[in-house]
Structures are given as structure tokens and as C-alpha cells.
Amino acid sequence: MAKLVLIRHGQSLWNLHNLFTGWVDVPLSAQGVQEAIAAGKRLADEKFDVIYTSTLIRAITTAMIVMSENKEGKVPIIQKVNAEKPLDWFKIYSPASEANMIPVHSAWELNERMYGELQGMNKEETAKKFGDAQVKIWRRSYDVPPPQGEALKNTAERTIPWFQKNIEPQLQAGKNILVAAHGNSLRAIIMYLEKLSEAQVLELELKTGEPVVFNADGGKVTRAA
């Protein structure tokens, strides 16, 4: 049986200030760091074969802090793609060191929902400007995007096919996987795994820094008790 752990990044500085973040690359707040440490302690006994993150620093940092608490002692190492130097600059020449590492892959498909013209705006001020009803539609409808942005439907259309291609085969092969990403990209994955309706996924809330654990047995993936 394989294990899949999904974790929304810890609180970011823009979460702290109640701003729409989307694809803006904002770091964790002090509270977010502590949330990641707490998640790492909770997952300390888990053994991971592969780690995936979005390309955004708040998700990458969360994954690395989580792994700093892991008792297995393996080292998470970010795999370089389209790097500024040839890939042999990043090559590990020690077989022992290579055997003791966990590859970390970043994928833009796991990035947060892109909030378009709302990015960087305060959520309360946005409600005053456009009205509570309109902002609620942008935030909570499945298929109505904010201006120049994505709806949850659009996020699901990039995240779910990526998950099917990259993660499902590894779960079927018995690999234990950690995914550190964002509220909306992870909601899309959970919608797919748990066969949630559009209405049900809108009610799904994921707290910052809190792991959601699934067991994978063959082709069946179920949430752990």
C-alpha cells in the first residue's frame, strides 16, 4: 500500500494581510513556518519516495521544512529543469549520497488558482469596491473567474490531468508521495480522488499547513481515517 500526503502551504505573508495572492510569489509568514514545522512533526515517521511542489516559494518552503523534521534522514533535493547551467553542474557523483536523497519536482500545474486583477488586493476592500455578492461569486463559484483570472474549473483542468499523468502511476507502483501546493490546486485533486460534485468541492476547506493523508491500494485511493 502506498501513501499520498497533500499539504497546503503554511500561512503566507499575504494570507496574514488578507490579500488575494494567486501566482504572486510570496513567502511564508512566521506563523506559516511554525505550521510547516508542526506538520513535519506530525509526518516525521513517514517515508517518502518522491516530493512534488508548485513552483511558488511558499509551497517549496513548506515541503522543505516538513522534511527537516523527518526521521528517515533522507535529503530532499530539488531537481533542476531549464537551469541556468548545464545539468551536469547539479549531478551527484556519490552513489551513497544519491541513494540517500528524495527527488523534489516543481510543477506549474500545481500552482494556486490565478486570481487575475484581484492579485494583491485586500479581500475586504475588494468586497467594498465590487460588492460582497460579486466577490463571493468570484471566490466561491466553480466556473466564474475574476477579471483576467482563473475559476476553480480552470485550475482543475490543468491540475487533474497532471496528477493523472505524473502521480497516479507512481502510487500504483507503490511509491509514497508528498505534494505541497495550494488551496485550490489541492481542492481540485481531492475533488477528483473523492469524486466530489462541483457544489461539494466549493464547500471543501483546506487549512494552511495541515496534511491530508490518503492510502493508495492498487487503483483505489482513499482518505486515511
For 49-92, the pLDDT digits (tens) are 999 999 999 999 999 999 999 999 999 999 998 777 888 899 99
88, 90, 215 from 9: Cα distances, Å: 31, 26, 21
- pLDDT for the residue 219: 80
- Is 9 annotated in the active site? yes
Q: How far apart are CA 60 and CA 56, in angstroms?
A: 6
Residues 6+ apart with CB under 8 A from 225: none
**In the predicted model, is pLDDT for residue 165 greater than 90?**
yes
- pLDDT for the residue 20: 97
- Is 112 annotated in the active site? yes
- pLDDT for the residue 170: 96
194 burial (CB, 10 Å; 0-12 / 13-18 / 19+) is middle
**Average pLDDT over the chain, rounded to an integer:** 96
Rounded to two decimals, the pTM is 0.95
Q: How far apart are CA 158 and CA 198, in angstroms?
A: 16
Residue 122 per-residue DSSP state: B
User: Residue 158 phi/psi, 5° resolution?
Assistant: -100, -30
Containing structural domain, residue 207? 2-223
Full DSSP string of 150-212:
--HHHHHHHHHHHHHHHTHHHHHTT--EEEEE-HHHHHHHHHHHTT--HHHHHT----TT-EE
Query: Would you say how long the chain is, in residues?
Result: 225
- pLDDT for the residue 98: 96
Instruction: Give the mean model confidence (pLDDT) for residues 197-214.
Output: 96
Instruction: Give the three cell numbers for residue 99.
Output: 541513494
**In the predicted model, is pLDDT for residue 225 greater than 80?**
no
Catalytic pick among 35, 46, 109, 112: 112
Q: How far apart are CA 121 and CA 17, in angstroms?
A: 10
Question: What burial letters (b/e) apply to 6-43, b meaning 16+ CB within 10 Å?
Answer: bbbbbbbbbbeeebbbbbbebbbbebbbebbbbbbebb
Q: Domain count for the chain, please give it.
A: 1
What CATH number is given to the structural domain containing 87? 3.40.50.1240
Summarised one tens digit per residue, pLDDT across range 131-149 is 999 999 999 899 999 999 9
- 53 and 180 Cβ atoms separated by less than 8 Å: yes
- pLDDT for the residue 129: 92
Summarised one tens digit per residue, pLDDT across range 25-37 is 999 999 999 999 9
Q: How far apart are CA 70 and CA 91, in angstroms?
A: 24
